[in-house]
A and B are shown apart, each in its own frame.
Chain A
Amino acid sequence: MTKPNHHIFADGELSRNESTLRIDTLDGETKYLPVESVDSLYLHGQIDFNTRALGLLNDHGVPVHVFGWKDYYKGSYLPKRGQVSGNTVVEQVRAYDDKRRLRIAHQVIEASIHNMRANIRYYSSRKGDFSTTLDKLSELKERVTSTETIDNLRAVEGNARKQYYRCFDTILREPFALERREYNPPSNEANALVSFLNGMVYTTCVSAIRKTALDPTVGFVHEPGERRFTLSLDIADIFKPILADRLVFRLVNRQQITVDDFESDLDGCLLTEDGRLTVLQEYEETLDRTIEHPRLNRKVSFKTLVQTDVYSLKKHLLTGEPYQATERWW
């Protein structure tokens, strides 16, 4: 069982009280959070907090993800590393520098394409005939192993993603349509939904990586040295189809989210606060969904899958055991 996340939408103050977290909202409500039973804390509202509160979060290894205006991801306060292992970091950087990088990148991209294809296969015949896309994605997945440079690999991935996004408009119930993937700012409702959920998947990966000694800034597919945690971006690519895209289809097709849950602003389109709340509730439920794991011989939640993926990568770096990026098997 993984611990649940907690999201604070209210405005107010977060403080330490009797060795646990206390939230005083501007509405005059006081709530206590069991600090030992929270995985990650998400701040969506305007929250004041001090170093005593951060210290407590630090003691319990709880990362805090901060969102700003319209829930744009701002950054994370990560606890002091619980796992310190110079060994791991050295091996991670070595792997980035030697031939292991390409092998790991192959795994990530293969899994990513596999998971995209699994989504399309699910909706094939339900929503339309996607056989050409399915063939194309299989072909691209096969091309991965023979691709010998990271740049070409990224081109293969970009190609696959383009094929994949092209099916969205057929799958999504009208009037939702992606048309083309656009962000910063998202140009329409479907893009806004995809962007918002991709951001959530990213933070889920940041939290999972923090539980290991891996350095989140050294990724294998994405080039390190950008502002973001590139390893989180790598892992997020594997899980976006599973955690985000499938949820986008479900929310739209079951009309849990409608165009009324969006507002247009500065020639972009964004979710309203109500819309974000609905999406997050469903996202949290998705993280909790469990499936039988063939190797672990028990049921694991999707959130645990992200964690085991990261563990597998770490084990690969340290022992050379093959890294198995998560490919949807169910």
Chain B
Amino acid sequence: MQVIVVYDVPADRTHVYRKLLRRRLEHLQYSVFYGQLTPGQVEAMKNEIESELEDDDSIVVFETTNQAAFDFTTFGAAEAPGSRFT
């Protein structure tokens, strides 16, 4: 499924979530991650997020299984997400 994760956490804790999310998702912008995951991967990711959670942390996970209804437009210097080439 398509997944977008955004977070807003105290500066000294960003690395916790960055590390956890980068393993599964593409790091699009400072606190924005995108990727296609299996339901199992999403579940594991949510569990990991939950176990790291502290009071001031705020994380939102968007997900959809309908690939056809998912589209994006990029502006400016943004690279198209999901590229398989470096």
Q: Do A and B bind each other?
A: yes
Q: Is B25's CB under 8 angstroms from A37's CB? A: yes
A37 to B2, CA, bound (A): 12
Q: Is the CB of B84 within 8 A of A6?
A: yes
Q: Is the interface of A mostly helix, strand, loop or mixed?
A: mixed
**A-binding segment of B34-42, B52-60, B69-77:** B34-42
Which B residues are in CB contact (< 8 Å) with A5? Answer: 84
Q: Looking at the complex, which one of B15, B18, B24, B85 makes contact with A37 (CB distance below 8 Å)?
A: B24
Q: Are B23 and A10 in contact (CB under 8 A)?
A: no
At the interface, yes or no: A281 with Cβ under 8 Å from chain B? yes
A32 within 8 A of B: yes
Instruction: Determine whether the beta carbon of B37 is less than 8 Å from that of A7.
Output: no
Contact B19 A18 (CB under 8 A): yes
**Distance, CA A8 to CA B84, complexed state (A):** 8
Measured in the bound complex, the distance between the Cα atoms of B24 and A25 in whole Å is: 21
Give residues of chain A (250-294) contacting chain B, Cβ–Cβ below 8 Å: 277, 280-281, 284
Q: Report the interface size class on chain A.
A: 20 to 34
Whether the Cβ atoms of A8 and B86 lie closer than 8 Å is yes
Once bound together, how far apart are the Cα atoms of A25 and B85, in whole Å?
A: 12
* Across-interface contacts of B19 in A (CB, < 8 A): 18-20
Cross-chain contact A281 with B85 (CB below 8 angstroms): yes
Question: Known contacts A1-B36, A19-B19; is A36 also within 8 Å of B24 by CB?
Answer: yes
Tell me which of B27, B36, B84 contacts A32 (CB under 8 A). Answer: B27
Interface majority SS on B: helix, strand, loop or mixed? mixed
> A1-43: contact bitstring with B at CB < 8 Å (1 yes, 0 no)?
1001111111000000011100101000001111111000000
CA distance A7 to B85 in the complex (A): 5
B23 touches A9 (CB 8 A): no
CB distance from A250 to the nearest CB of B (A): 19
Q: Which residue of A lies closest to B15 (CB)?
A: A18
CB-CB under 8 A from A35, the residues of chain B are 23
Q: Kindly provide the distance from the CB of B40 to the nearest chain A CB, expressed in whole angstroms.
A: 11
User: A4's contact among B15, B22, B36, B86, by CB below 8 Å, is which?
Assistant: B36
Give chain B interface residues in 1-52, CB to chain A under 8 Å: 15, 18-19, 22-27, 35-38, 41
Closest 9 CB pairs of A and B: A18-B19, A8-B86, A20-B23, A36-B24, A20-B22, A34-B24, A36-B23, A32-B22, A7-B85
B residues at A contact (CB < 8 Å):
15, 18-19, 22-27, 35-38, 41, 82, 84-86
Q: Residues on A close to B: CB < 8 A? A: 1, 4-10, 18-20, 23, 25, 31-37, 277, 280-281, 284
